Amino acid sequence: MTRAFLGLGSNLGDRMGFLKDAVAAIDDCVAVSGVFETEPVGGPEQDHYLNVVAELDTDRSARDLLELCQALEASAGRVREVRWGPRTLDVDVLWVDGETVEEPDLVVPHPRMRERAFVMVPLGELAPDLFAGWSDPGTGGCQRLGGWDELVSRAQEGVS
């Protein structure tokens, strides 16, 4: 089994619901970071995102994880109209221990993860070793709203 990390974000519709459903569908997920509300980086003007990082203990390759990410996005009704535009769900392969991939549709480790607080701050909660030496480039705000379990429970109770 291999340690891997996926970044998940949503800024359309029921943001927490899309994240909750996606995480629930990842059968090899072993931990989820806190939930962060973040400013969009790049793209058109749009609403703030909710972001989390999921840790997996998996036997899937980076390619298999990309297929999982795309299936999760499709199940959330994601439509790709504008690059870096608003989305119901965005799921990225961030890191797979021991794997480096450089292909047109997949680069692992994620090529821009260290440029983005909305990736590195939640990732740092789960993997301090990958956070070491990182400094915030100051692009976009990143505010922790609470722990994953707490916010999922509140969402299920209908409390915002």
Tell me whether residue 90 is one of the annotated catalytic residues: yes
Options 28, 59, 60, 78, the catalytic residue: 78
Amino acid residing at 150: E
Nearest to 41 by CA among 160, 141, 111, 144: 141
Nearest to residue 38, comparing CAs of 130, 121, 155?
121
Count CB atoms within 10 A of the CB of residue 50: 19
Distances (CA, A) of 90 to 16, 75, 79, 97, 132: 13, 11, 10, 22, 25
Is 92 an active-site residue?
yes
Q: Which of 28, 64, 87, 112 is catalytic?
A: 87
Set 28, 64, 80, 90: catalytic member:
90
Catalytic-role residue among 64, 83, 92, 154: 92
Q: Active-site residue 87, yes or no? A: yes
Dihedral angle at the C-alpha atoms of 70, 72, 74, 75, nearest 10 degrees? 160
Query: Please, are residues 9 and 140 in contact by the beta-carbon 8 Å criterion?
Result: no
Give catalytic status of residue 63 as yes or no. Answer: no
Q: Which residues are catalytic?
A: 78, 87, 90, 92
